[in-house]
Amino acid sequence: MFGLARDQQQGIYELGRLALDPNIYEKNLTSWFLSRAIKLMRKEIEVKAILSYADSSLHNGYIYQATNFKYYGLTAPKPDFWILQEDGSYIKHQRGKVKGLVGEWRPRSRKHRYLLVYDKQLKCLWKEQPYPKGDNLSTYNYNTNEVKELSPCINT
């Protein structure tokens, strides 16, 4: 995102996963937690930038919008390899070579890219875009290179 060599990325972090117990609901709990975690982190270590992703098939990343991350669009379309198991089911291959494995390539959901930059000398190579809004989620069709809108599921 900044065009830096691997040995020049000190102070640049990625949030791996943020999840809360679905049985606990407090208004603004996730943004409260995230903002305080970042504040504590910045007291302990040098933080130049923080990157995070939101899975476009699940949500738009409103927590990052609420905590002043800038939005840089969707990741490029990519497939994942799914390995055929003996029982006929498939399991997602995590990493490494797939040559010789029996399975199929399936589209991966694209991710919303959010970035919070503290070091003003860093210039992001991605183009900043307006925040995604709305309740509809999208999916990418690899055969037609188009985005299809989906309605969210509502359990009644």
Question: Which string of DSSP letters, residue by residue, matches 62-100?
Answer: HHHHHTT-EEEEEPPP-EEEEEEPTTS-EEE--SS--TT
- pLDDT digits (tens), the chain, 156 positions: 999 999 999 999 999 887 778 788 788 888 999 999 999 999 999 999 999 999 998 889 999 999 999 999 999 999 999 999 999 999 999 888 999 999 999 999 999 999 999 999 999 999 999 999 876 454 444 344 454 444 333 332
- In which element (H, E) is residue 42 found? helix 29-44
* pLDDT at 28 (0 to 100): 86
CA 101 to CA 93: how far, in whole Å? 10
> Could you tell me the fold of the domain covering 6-75+110-150?
Aminopeptidase (3.40.630)
3-state secondary structure of 21: coil
CA distance linking residue 101 with residue 63, whole number of Å:
39
Strands 12-14, 49-55: pairing kind: parallel
Nearest residue to 55 (alpha-carbon basis) of 130, 153, 138, 115 = 138
Token pair 């970042």 in the structure block, residue? 38
pLDDT at res. 71 = 98
Specify the pTM: 0.77
Give the DSSP H or E segment for 111.
Answer: strand 111-117
pLDDT value of position 135? 64
Every domain of the chain and the residues it spans: 6-75+110-150, 76-108
